[in-house]
Amino acid sequence: MPNYRIGYPELRLTIAEGDANASDFSLPGINVSAGLKLWKNSVLYQQNLSQFIEQYQGFYAELMNALTAKDFKLISAKVHKLKGTSGALALDNIAAICRDVESTLETGEDIADSLLQMQDAITQVANSLSFWLSMSDQNTLSSENKVILIDAYNTRFVEVEAVILQLLKELDSDNPKTPKKVLAQLETLLSPELLKAIKTEIYDFNFREAEILTMALLHSLKQSKGNA
């Protein structure tokens, strides 16, 4: 397995004046350019990254406990979910490690070192995000960059919210056909790339995982509109 463990070199950030969605900068562990294309504005993206870090701060301990108990089914499910979530947030390094862990689980090889690599990658994202947020707090970014843009998510929020709520209803019913139809409707309102992780879970019939991702998306959109 490739070694994904990384250190934390000095972070470099260059943002064009007045561009709230600037993509001309690099953060270790975060593919910012890809993330901003998915989430459309930097503040919404930062909010979702913050929720990710909060959700996964104890992930390593959970997986090691499962490994000690030889609960490989649980590990596989948790890693699969992390893979989908990290992909939706453009955390390429974490997603790559998840894919390798899944492959290693299939061969029956030891995954302890890989889980530590995963934790290192999550910590790296947390460090990079902390730096990015501190730059905003220190007024390094222009005032424009601190305002959540009124974009397609907000101007069409009522319509988007109604379809998301319908999707949640269909997922709860466990009907194997109707969630796909509602998802197709949602893809006409939001970027299909933004919905990729949800779509994967629906087509794999992992409706509980799809519900979690869908509720997280709705929460993020509500926060974005509330702060606009």
Q: What is the pLDDT of residues 49-88, one digit of tens each?
A: 999 988 887 788 889 999 999 999 999 999 999 999 999 9
**CA of 142: how far to CAs of 41, 135, 179, in Å?**
14, 10, 42
Which residue has better confidence, 40 or 179? 179
| Whether residue 15 has pLDDT greater than 60 | no
* pLDDT for residue 106: 92
Q: What share of the chain is helix, strand, coil (3-state, %, to 5)?
A: 70, 0, 30
Residue 111: which residues within 8 A CB-CB, separation 6 or more?
A: 67, 75, 101, 104, 105
Contact 13, 23 (CB under 8 A): no
- CATH code reported for the domain at 32-146: 1.20.120
The CA-to-CA distance between both ends of the chain, in Å, stands at 45
Q: Please name which of 27, 25, 23 lies closest in space to residue 8, comparing C-alpha atoms.
A: 27
> CB 136: neighbour CB atoms within 10 A?
14
Rg (CA), the chain: 18
DSSP per-residue letters across 200-217: HHHHTT-HHHHHHHHHHH
Average pLDDT, the chain: 77
* pLDDT for residue 78: 95
Q: Which two tokens stand for residue 166?
A: 């319908």
Write the single-letter amino acid at 66: A
Q: Please name which of 99, 92, 161, 156 lies closest in space to residue 128, comparing C-alpha atoms.
A: 92
DSSP per-residue letters across 153-191: HHHTHHHHHHHHHHHHHHHHHT-SSHHHHHHHHHTTTS-
Which residue has better confidence, 162 or 225? 162
**CA of 36: how far to CAs of 22, 32, 114, in Å?**
8, 6, 28
| pTM for the structure as a whole | 0.56
For the chain, the structural domain boundaries read 32-146, 152-227
Contact 146, 133 (CB under 8 A): no
pLDDT digits (tens, 9 = 90+) for 170-199: 999 988 889 999 999 988 877 666 678 888
pLDDT digits (tens, 9 = 90+) for 154-166: 446 788 889 999 9
Contact 2, 93 (CB under 8 A): no
| Pairwise CA distance, residues 12 & 170, whole Å | 45
pLDDT digits (tens, 9 = 90+) for 115-146: 988 988 888 888 788 778 766 554 443 433 33
Contact 162, 185 (CB under 8 A): no
